Amino acid sequence: MWQKLTLCTSLLLAATAPTRAETAPASTSPDWEAIFRALPQPANIKETMRRMSARPHHVGSPYDKDNAEWLRDRFKEFGWDAQIETFYVLFPTPKTRLLEMTSPSRFSAKLEEPAEAKDPTSRQKSEQLPSYNAYSIDGDVRGPLVYVNYGRQQDYEELEKQGISVRGAIVIARYGESWRGIKPKVAAEHGAIGCIIYSDPRDDGYAAGDVFPDGPMRNKDGVQRGSVADLPTYPGDPLTPGVGATKDAKRLDIKDAKTLTAIPVLPISYGDAQPLLAAMTGPLAPPSWRGGLPITYHLGSGPAQVHLKLAFNWDIKPIYDVIATIPGRAFPDQWVIRGNHHDAWVNGADDPLSGMSAMLEEARALGVLLKQGWQPQRTIVYTAWDGEEPGLLGSTEWVEQHGDELAQKAVIYINTDDSGRGFLDVAGSHTLEKFINAVARDVEDPEAKVSLWKRWQAHQIVTGTAEERREARSRPDLRIDALGSGSDFTPFLQHNGVASLAIGFSGEDQAGVYHSVYDDFYHYTHFSDTDFVYGRALAQTAGTAVIRMADAQLMPFEFTDIADTVQTYITQIKHMLEQKQDEARERNREVEDGLFVTTGDPRHPTTTPKAAAVPPALNFAPLDNVSTALADAAQRYARAADKARGQLSHDPAALLRVNARLMQSERELLDPKGLPKREWYRHLLYAPGYYTGYAVKTMPGVRESIEQKDYANVAAEVGKLAQALQREVDLINGAAQDLEAIK
Amino acid sequence: MWQKLTLCTSLLLAATAPTRAETAPASTSPDWEAIFRALPQPANIKETMRRMSARPHHVGSPYDKDNAEWLRDRFKEFGWDAQIETFYVLFPTPKTRLLEMTSPSRFSAKLEEPAEAKDPTSRQKSEQLPSYNAYSIDGDVRGPLVYVNYGRQQDYEELEKQGISVRGAIVIARYGESWRGIKPKVAAEHGAIGCIIYSDPRDDGYAAGDVFPDGPMRNKDGVQRGSVADLPTYPGDPLTPGVGATKDAKRLDIKDAKTLTAIPVLPISYGDAQPLLAAMTGPLAPPSWRGGLPITYHLGSGPAQVHLKLAFNWDIKPIYDVIATIPGRAFPDQWVIRGNHHDAWVNGADDPLSGMSAMLEEARALGVLLKQGWQPQRTIVYTAWDGEEPGLLGSTEWVEQHGDELAQKAVIYINTDDSGRGFLDVAGSHTLEKFINAVARDVEDPEAKVSLWKRWQAHQIVTGTAEERREARSRPDLRIDALGSGSDFTPFLQHNGVASLAIGFSGEDQAGVYHSVYDDFYHYTHFSDTDFVYGRALAQTAGTAVIRMADAQLMPFEFTDIADTVQTYITQIKHMLEQKQDEARERNREVEDGLFVTTGDPRHPTTTPKAAAVPPALNFAPLDNVSTALADAAQRYARAADKARGQLSHDPAALLRVNARLMQSERELLDPKGLPKREWYRHLLYAPGYYTGYAVKTMPGVRESIEQKDYANVAAEVGKLAQALQREVDLINGAAQDLEAIK
């Protein structure tokens, strides 16, 4: 159904905006989308990456500002309005970094990524930020080491079973599975006094592939920098939650900032980690905890004592957001927003410039269209964010500063960040699932020479489960993932309710240089999208989406996919609860039958589990009911939209009303009071996990209340969510009614 | 039901044998089982292990003969008849062992397990067999290296997908997953000219635990010796298949022996493997192929060229089987046979002496009973096999030599081999499942102080799936595994149809010294059943089983468990076929839809799968029908046995007939023509996998015909199996009829 509608929209691309009817017949207007898609050039994308990655360009660095000004000037050169908007944010940089083992032998961690002869920019020592975790507090701690695997809640449960406490200890966790900022947060909750995070070679090193510079993977000295602010509580400047960090904004004292860590944290390489882990004793780590170092992994605590000393310059630094616009001809107050960050931890070729360079090429191509006479119906806003790496600073401060305006004007936000080679990778609002599926059908994959959609579908069939295969073959649209956090869509989607998409390519190459000095032009041009053809495909995809949304007569939001998705989330949550009930009942039975005592190994005593309350039955009926209503409303809207095809210009006022509703459809899913424990996050369908980080928790209020055993709160969360979905139902029915009235 | 019957049998232990009725009332006869179980002493087991592991005692070594003679003398000292039976077998030992890398750099493998200062017997260099694989052919080959993971059929399919051929190459495979002899067999079938097998530290080294001598796991120099004869074709002396290798037996020429390898094979340590694997290039090994070395695993072939040169002394050596007997009072021609091997690859504390030492302590305790006036109703035969390590030589030759007699007289064979600490581990004939469950209820676990059965059950509940938990809780008997191969039960069970059990303890300790010089008294007494209390429990368990079977009025065979088990095997095979059909249909659809082309990565081209025939539907109705008949007959027999309880002595002739049938019940499952491609293996329910080795394939004729895509043969195999099961049904009905007639 949507394919036909898309075709129709496409023919009407430059056609009548309801309030400003034009008379040119559809068949004679240029196919601006097709014209656009022929314009992006790999060579330009490559040159942008080369230029912007030529020097380190982290927040506060000279080249960060230089890049922002260069970007602004490019936009202007391409015919856009462009300016830099500056905010002032807390950005700590290291003053002291010391990690040493004091017993059973002495060892000082190197904490240094050496220059590689083959890799020119790895030599830019004077401008590189050293390896550290931003927003770790200062600290000077000594204690025994305990290995905590990925540092998740369940890892501490396993430690407790083994009789190991981290109280007073310095934990060493490996990167992966949970977002890095979760590791010190959970460690501190369990009484640890310091946290070391290392990249294990099994996850990110020689076990995963040849190491840099001979291959793409992390070598023994590579370190993953990164923010450890408590982003699942709120992103952005830690001192200005909820408001833009303008020069004279009211700021918290540093000591009152809720998102700084409670304990000092330092990331290290596996070269530095190996002597520490090798010196540990205590129980053998469980099989799934063992990494790829050539040692036996022990839990500790034992003779290995370490000293961790960290001090930071707690400076306020300027960040430079580049905001470029093409005003909409018909609807200047309806904004189609596209963004990517420009700051990096060091040279940042993959992260963020693979996405940024494609976006700038889109901007150039749109500029070419402008010169050929095209002007979008809606305003197009291209944004290049600064300060994403420390904590989505540039996007969050801008969204907070312009929140009221965005609430009125934002139609969509489309993000790209690091992107490589392979298969289309889309996550976002499910009201846009059909939209982005349609876009993917119109862009060619540069390797397979079929549409991106065809290759995406083939990938899902070849790698999927039986159920996934069935859906990939028969469902009208391929499923897109929900968004958690980890890039600049977060403030748009989760704070302001702007329907969002994140787009990239992945699946054919691996890389192990994330947030290291080796994420640079040399690496990207040897091990990733080396000829930038996927960069071009990314520009074609995102640009097509922008043009299509900016010029659509009826905004291509759609609701059968979100209705279906909501249904799957409800089912998942019910299953999760049932599983927890079954597990608790079974464990209690085993406890009562004394099975843990009977099977215990006296040479390796473990804590005997205790019987625990079985999760209660919970009332999901309000969700079931509203889910049915949502499916009905979605069907009604789809029928109405189908029927109104070709007649939309008969009633411009009605079309205006429908589009005004559609723009607001994601907003209905917000709760102005926010989620439990974190009011900044307002979206009731999607949030980053409070205890997992980037990865999404869908229906987070309900799901996390169950996961955190706060069963008493579930009814309230179910109620809030059901109300939000009911508002969505009402909005959809209202839009359908308006469409039904068009004759 | 069986518990009651057992109790009854136990009261009647020394009571009336049908042909020699005695009048002593059951209640006054001693409880010989209970008396027996109080006798085994850990200190004796420890001393036996110390004595027998004091020097290397492989086939042909002075201490091998010395141990045999010492054992014989112990049996005699304990009051048994005992003698040594000698066979003469082909036993190659190394003359030349050379493995060197000739490019891209030069490296010579050390091929040496050094003495460890802490470990006294590791210094006995002059008597140790060097590390090698017995029955590798001589060879002098040079070629590129290809890494083949575990060297299974499916590993070569993956290599083919990656476009890698092993033709003309020397393969390097890791130990594990398939039995070692399978690796050169499959390699040669694919055209390889040599085979290196190494112990990867992920499976058997530092990744699994601390390494020897600080811990139990394999250190960088540890090598797993072992036979690579094609034992799934036939075990025993390669030159005398099917007949005893007596001095003047007719022997094949070495060149005609079917079980020698086709290509030279050498086992190496991970210390020796690392430089070879590190030098390889070619495609990255798939994730599941990557081991625990601190390198990136590649498939080859690339610049790494190796030279492998092996030559052996192809000697005929004597082997010394120790055969000890206590004649049965009532039924001297009904033999209850118990066995364990005494030869080792080097000092062999765990393998085989952990089982051997417990067995000798049983023999001592049975001798004590003899002195107290007990004499078993049936003949007890205790056997200590030589030459198990090279290929079950001692047991196979003895069984082949005494095949006709065994067919008449053997009631049961009970094997132990290496045994440690933890949970009872039983595999065997399912006609004995209820029997061994009952025995396990009567022996106490030395750690948990509950019955072995209770702890075994608890372990199955705590570690099992939901279905396994349900069964462990509600099924009358805990399930025992089926037997494949890997120890001396094989000729009894699979060649001669003697119902067999293999018993041991495991689950609490790990060890990485299998078939190395470090499997010795120091290792066992530091890292395994250090106080030999599980050795005592093993003696108590096996000895109780021996006494109970030797003295039982009605032999404790039972058929409801085998009927249930046969049903599960039929279901498994049907599911396997369905799954293969589904997979083939799905793959063909993906091939026809071009999905492999669409998803292919041009930088890493792989072979596109081809459409292949979907396995046909097959007729399992004969098995379904006979399975129903088997369940009915088993129920009938159970009812009849229950009803006849207490009245068995009323009709000694009928009881004789019943026991004669029961003794033959396993024999009915043989086919004298043997399995496809390997006539030596005659059991139609259990066999080692032709392409997997030790691990069992149940219903092997049917299952392997499907696995090997020989669908045309399935009907014949189903027919043979159904006939065998029908013979079993007839036997059971006959036995039931006899019991029903007892009034």
Whichever domain contains A62, its CATH number is 3.40.630.10
Residues A405 and A274 in one domain: no
Task: Give pLDDT, residue B536.
Answer: 98
Total structural domains within chain B = 2
C-alpha dihedral (A429, A433, A439, A445), degrees to nearest 10: 100
> Which residues are B133's β-sheet partners?
B226
Residues A340 and A293 in one domain: no
How far apart CA A639 and CA A541 sit, in angstroms, is: 28
Helices (H), A560-678: 560-592, 595-599, 621-644, 652-664
B304: left (phi over 0), alpha (psi -120 to 50) or beta: beta
8 Å CB contact of A459 and B599? yes
Nearest to A190 by CA among A219, A154, A230, A223: A154
- For the segment B516-539, the average pLDDT, to the nearest whole number, is 98
Considering only alpha carbons, which residue of chain B is nearest residue A457? B595
Considering only alpha carbons, which residue of chain A is nearest residue B464? A586
Give the helix/strand (H/E) hosting B740.
helix B714-741
**Angle, to 10 degrees, between the axis of helix A560-592 and the axis of helix A433-441?**
120
Give yes or no for B450 touching A (CB within 8 A).
yes
- For the segment A430-441, the average pLDDT, to the nearest whole number, is 98
Q: Predicted confidence band at B608 (pLDDT cuts at 50, 70, 90)?
A: confident
CB B67 within 8 A of CB B52: yes
Which amino acid is residue B684, in one-letter code? L
Q: What is the mean pLDDT of chain A?
A: 95
Domain final residue pick, B296, B315, B334:
B315
Residues A308 and A322 in one domain: no
CB B421 within 8 A of CB B505: yes
- For the segment A424-440, the average pLDDT, to the nearest whole number, is 98
Domain final residue pick, B270, B287, B315:
B315
Task: Give pLDDT, residue A215.
Answer: 97
DSSP string, B433-488: HHHHHHHHHTSB-TTT-SBHHHHHHHHHHHHS-HHHHHHHHHSSS---BPP-SSST
Among B459, B526, B579, B598, pick the best mutation site for testing chain A contact (most A Cβ within 10 A). B598
A361, two tokens: 């090429």
User: Which among A294, A595, A602 has the least Cβ separation from residue B293?
Assistant: A294
User: Which among B217, B458, B602 has the least Cβ separation from residue A595?
Assistant: B458
Considering only alpha carbons, which residue of chain B is nearest residue A600? B448
User: Which among A284, A293, A594 has the least Cβ separation from residue B209?
Assistant: A284
Residues A368 and A393 in one domain: yes
Give yes or no for A599 touching B (CB within 8 A).
yes
Q: Predicted confidence band at A301 (pLDDT cuts at 50, 70, 90)?
A: confident
CB B562 within 8 A of CB B634: yes
Q: What is the mean pLDDT of chain B?
A: 95
Task: Give pLDDT, residue B28.
Answer: 64
Task: Give pLDDT, residue A8.
Answer: 30
Residues A299 and A324 in one domain: no
Does B184 map to a domain? yes
B469 Cα to chain A: minimum distance (Å): 10
CA angle A216, A220, A221 (to 5 degrees): 100
The total number of residues written for chain B in this structure = 743
Task: Give pLDDT, residue A476.
Answer: 95
B524, two tokens: 């066992």
Give the helix/strand (H/E) hosting A147.
strand A139-147
CB B488 within 8 A of CB B188: no
Tell how far CA A249 is from the center of its chain.
27
CB B649 within 8 A of CB B18: yes
Farthest CA pair distance, chain B: 88
Using a 10 angstrom Cβ sphere, with 0-12 exposed, 13-18 middle and 19 or more buried, the burial of residue A80 is: buried
- For the segment B478-503, the average pLDDT, to the nearest whole number, is 97
Task: Give pLDDT, residue B694.
Answer: 83
- For the segment A487-516, the average pLDDT, to the nearest whole number, is 97
**pLDDT value at A156 more than 60:** yes
Residues A162 and A279 in one domain: yes
Residues A182 and A65 in one domain: no
Residue A548 neighbours by CB under 8 Å, 6+ apart:
A6, A9, A10, A13, A33, A435, A438, A439, A556
**pLDDT value at B126 more than 90:** yes
Nearest to B323 by CA among B95, B9, B84: B84
How far apart CA B698 and CA A156 sit, in angstroms, is: 42
Does B700 map to a domain? yes
Q: Which of residues 571 through 590 in chain A touch B, CB cutoff 8 A?
A: 586, 590
Nearest to B669 by CA among B655, B677, B660, B681: B681
CB A515 within 8 A of CB A226: yes
Residues A363 and A386 in one domain: yes
Task: Give pLDDT, residue B11.
Answer: 31
Nearest to A48 by CA among A591, A512, A390, A538: A538
Task: Give pLDDT, residue A302.
Answer: 80
Does B284 map to a domain? yes
How many other C-beta atoms can be found within 10 angstroms of the C-beta atom of residue A199? Answer: 28
Which amino acid is residue B214, in one-letter code? D
Residues A54 and A187 in one domain: no
Give yes or no for A161 touching B (CB within 8 A).
no
User: Worst-scoring range by mean pLDDT, A96-105, A606-615, B325-334?
Assistant: A606-615
User: Worst-scoring range by mean pLDDT, A73-77, A109-113, B295-299, B644-648?
Assistant: B644-648
How far apart CA B419 and CA B358 sit, in angstroms, is: 9
Task: Give pLDDT, residue B13.
Answer: 31
Give yes or no for B284 touching A (CB within 8 A).
yes
Does A538 map to a domain? yes
Phi–psi pair at B131, nearest 5 degrees: -75, 130
- For the segment B641-665, the average pLDDT, to the nearest whole number, is 96
Q: How far apart are the first and last CA of chain A?
A: 20
Among A204, A217, A219, A296, pick the best mutation site for testing chain B contact (most B Cβ within 10 A). A296
A478, two tokens: 């391929």
Does A482 map to a domain? no
Task: Give pLDDT, residue A694.
Answer: 83
**pLDDT value at B673 more than 90:** yes
Does B162 map to a domain? yes
**pLDDT value at B7 more than 90:** no
Does A194 map to a domain? yes
SS3 A734: helix
Pairing of strands B107-108, B81-103: antiparallel
- The string of pLDDT tens digits covering residues A254-274 is 999 999 999 999 999 999 999
Task: Give pLDDT, residue A28.
Answer: 63
Q: Predicted confidence band at A29 (pLDDT cuts at 50, 70, 90)?
A: confident
Measured over the CA atoms of residue A359, residue A365, residue A371 and residue A377, the dihedral's sign is: negative
Give the helix/strand (H/E) hosting A500.
strand A500-507
DSSP code at position B223: -
8 Å CB contact of A206 and B296? yes
Whichever domain contains B573, its CATH number is 1.20.930
- The string of pLDDT tens digits covering residues B150-171 is 999 999 999 999 999 999 999 9
- For the segment A67-94, the average pLDDT, to the nearest whole number, is 98
Domain final residue pick, B315, B342, B361:
B315
**pLDDT value at A180 more than 90:** yes
Whichever domain contains A300, its CATH number is 3.50.30.30
8 Å CB contact of A292 and B294? yes
- For the segment A68-77, the average pLDDT, to the nearest whole number, is 98
- For the segment A541-563, the average pLDDT, to the nearest whole number, is 98
Task: Give pLDDT, residue A480.
Answer: 98
CB B541 within 8 A of CB B337: no
Q: Predicted confidence band at B2 (pLDDT cuts at 50, 70, 90)?
A: very low
Give yes or no for A285 touching B (CB within 8 A).
no
Does A17 map to a domain? no
A600-to-A12, B456, B463, B517, B698 alpha-carbon distances in Å? 73, 12, 12, 31, 33
**pLDDT value at B528 more than 50:** yes
Residues A129 and A263 in one domain: yes
C-alpha dihedral (B576, B579, B583, B585), degrees to nearest 10: 110
Domain carrying residue A670: 560-741
Residues A436 and A305 in one domain: no
Residues A162 and A295 in one domain: yes
- The string of pLDDT tens digits covering residues B220-275 is 999 999 999 999 999 999 999 999 999 999 999 999 999 999 999 999 999 999 99
Nearest to B638 by CA among B736, B734, B553: B736
**pLDDT value at A1 more than 70:** no
User: Which among B206, B469, B597 has the least Cβ separation from residue A296?
Assistant: B206
ipTM: 0.92
